[in-house]
Structure 1
Amino acid sequence: MRKIGDDLWVHDDSMNMMGTRLGLRMTIVKLSSGGVWVHSPTAITPELKREIDEIGKVECIVAASNAHNLWLQDWCEAYPEADAYVSAGIPRKVPLSNYHILQRGMENPWEADMAWETMPSVPMFNETVFLHKKTRSLIVTDLIQNYPDKVPTGFAGLMTKYVFQPIGFKGSCIAPPLKIGYMIKDKPKFCNFIRHVQEWDFERIIVTHGDIIEDNAKSVFSDICARFLK
């Protein structure tokens, strides 16, 4: 883990996807209550668990996009007293017993530390994004991604150059499926979601895939999402 702000850490990991290594990032926040909030959990190891336990007691395990559940059950078993907060599609895939579905209209359990907004009308993701107020950090799962320009070597490089980059996984980008019109079922509602997030006071975007966006984060967000505001 590495600390990137007051009460804010990240852990970088990866997983295999079609012969390439897909970068993953977990975000860890120490809440004002003293508890620990874990977003988009990566593979749990004894060393990683020890590092997190040194911060405080894990109270919340957050899986905020439908595709991000690979290690969720492992974390819930490691921390049985923690509450899981998940996107709407995850309970159909993971046998959870102590969970809450992140959805519009739900009371914010982390009001002192976080603002959050659930993406409407995109059942593929059902993603919720968060603003860590203390560090002015926007925390996303799939909505925004940021891939380095350097292409890996070997088969992974070929896949990157001829498969992933042509369909939109390149540089700072919106999740490529969102570029397909029929993925968004109610465009006015989605537009309002983007406008709401855009109004938040953030100076960094912590992405789950790719490099953290530290420079001109609000401009990057606005440029990437401009297509939805036309």
Structure 2
Amino acid sequence: MYKEDEITVSQKLPRQPKNSQDHRWRFWATVPIYPYSKRRTIRKEILKDTIWTFDQLQGIFYVVVPIRMTIIKLKSGGLLVYAPVAPTPECIRLVQELVAHHGDVKYIILPTISGLEHKYVVGPFARKFPQATVYVAPKQWSFPVDLPLSWLGFPGKRTKVLPQDSSQTPFSDEFDYAILGDIDLRLGQFAEVAFLHKRSQTLLVTDSIVSIPAKPPEIVEQDLYPLLFHARDSAIEAISDTQGNRLRGWHRICLFAMYFRSSVLDIPSIGKTVTDAVRSPNKSTQAYWGLYPFQWQVNWEEAFYTLRSDGRLLVAPILQTLILNRAPKETLAWADAIALWNFTQIIPCHFDAPISTTPQEFRQAFSFLESNIANSPRFPKADLQTLKNIDALLYKPGIIPPPKI
């Protein structure tokens, strides 16, 4: 299944140059996740002269996935930005190239209230485009103290809250949107705003829907180390760049990202982990001094293909188990409303994009919330067990409300 051919230098994908100031993100310490202060950006044209995506990378312990901004050209001229990413010099230059041909950034949309990886870049991004109006999802919050938007870095005089009625916005002739909100988690709330670009029949979502590609996305292959780090079967195995290792590493990263700990992942004892670290040929700081506390079972690939399900739309297990099951009626009403729209593709903020689909397939992804099938999840129960344990750990002492399904 995995080709083990060694990849020659000429075949390797481009790496970040030694002088990578173009990728510098100076506010990385606000949310200190990989790749920290260096964020490469890849721009892709999805629909000629109309829709572009901007992919960057984010992760923890080398579990890296794309994070995506989408820009759409307005019929009247100018640009709308959905879910900004880190405004590195490279990113802003790529946006300014669009501005030169298609007009100013007019609107910047923050479609979530709880996703720090989306939220903390909006203020710095908006400052690069002082003529743009910022629209944010309703009921923004901060922890541990709820602060005004201007204190969170949003430009005070040009930041507005998205009204419940999408017809009350200056871009209503081109966009509909639907707000999934008021999911009370006690420590905060969850919300997401899905946007429909009517002219291109494109649905924009943040975290609610993903599709997992069989191969690592291009932005992930710009930094091969996370793929190769997770491709190993033990700490004493050398980090080696082969096509098979790139693929193996991506599949394991997906299992980590979706389940935290899949049922096919064992955790060795502390003694074995330390002993293997001492024997490891990878003792650099980059390799966590040889520590590699993972041991995959022989059938682990089956878990990936079950999760991926041929690239179908899915709601991430984390959302299913910890968030959306707190508001099944509200979530289903939101999905029902969106299923009435006319769209042929979805651009999520993570994993694959664009995804060719139908409104019916979108709605089907949320069927796990329906009471008649709630006890028959698409994901194996064993793979969901770690998330179920976290769920119980939080709701039994009253930290978060109990699930409603």
Q: CA RMSD in A?
A: 2.8
Cα 1:17/1:77, change in 2 over 3 Å: same
CA distance in 1, matches of 2:121, 2:77: 24
Tell me by how many angstroms 1:206 deviates.
Answer: 0.5
Moved more, 152-161 or 206-215: 152-161
**Match status 1:47 vs 2:93:** yes
Tell me by how many angstroms 1:159 deviates.
Answer: 6.2
**Match status 1:81 vs 2:143:** no
Q: Which of 87, 91, 100 is the aligned partner of 2:160? A: 100
Cα 1:216/1:77, change in 2 over 3 Å: closer
Could you say which structure has the higher helix fraction? 2
Cα 1:210/1:201, change in 2 over 3 Å: same
TM-score (norm 2): 0.51
Contact 1:41–1:61, Cα closer than 8 Å, also in 2: yes
Which letter maps to 1:52?
A: L
CA distance in 2, matches of 1:129, 1:165: 21
- Where does the alignment leave 5 or more consecutive residues of structure 2 unmatched? 1-42, 142-148, 217-226, 232-248, 263-303, 372-405
**Match status 1:206 vs 2:338:** no
Show the 5 A alignment for 1:1-230: 1-5=43-47, 7-44=50-87, 45=89, 46-54=92-100, 55-66=102-113, 67=115, 68-87=118-137, 88-89=139-140, 91=149, 94-96=152-154, 97=156, 98-105=158-165, 107-123=168-184, 124-150=189-215, 152-155=227-230, 157=249, 160=253, 163-166=256-259, 170-171=307-308, 172-180=313-321, 183=324, 185-230=326-371
- Aligned-partner SS, 2:333: helix
Moved more, 158-167 or 95-104: 158-167
Contact 1:121–1:190, Cα closer than 8 Å, also in 2: no
Tell me by how many angstroms 1:29 deviates.
Answer: 0.9
- Aligned-partner SS, 1:127: strand
Tell me by how many angstroms 1:125 deviates.
Answer: 3.0
Cα 1:47/1:92, change in 2 over 3 Å: closer
- Aligned-partner SS, 1:142: coil
Which letter maps to 1:200?
A: W
Q: Would you say how many aligned residue pairs link Structure 1 and Structure 2?
A: 230
Cα 1:63/1:164, change in 2 over 3 Å: same
Cα 1:182/1:78, change in 2 over 3 Å: closer
Which letter maps to 1:50?
A: Q
Which letter maps to 2:213?
A: P
CA distance in 1, matches of 2:47, 2:254: 34
- Where does the alignment leave 5 or more consecutive residues of structure 1 unmatched? none
Which letter maps to 1:65?
A: T
Which letter maps to 2:80?
A: W
- Aligned-partner SS, 2:160: strand
Which letter maps to 2:170?
A: P
TM-score (norm 1): 0.86
- Aligned-partner SS, 1:189: helix
Moved more, 114-123 or 56-65: 114-123
CA distance in 2, matches of 1:204, 1:81: 30
Cα 1:50/1:166, change in 2 over 3 Å: same
Contact 2:340–2:359, Cα closer than 8 Å, also in 1: no
Q: Any idea what the Cα deviations from partners look like across 1:15-55, whole Å, max 9, x if unmatched?
A: 23332322011111111221210011122224223223222
Moved more, 160-169 or 84-93: 160-169
Tell me by how many angstroms 1:76 deviates.
Answer: 1.2
Tell me by how many angstroms 1:182 deviates.
Answer: 6.0
Which letter maps to 1:86?
A: V
CA distance in 2, matches of 1:166, 1:187: 21
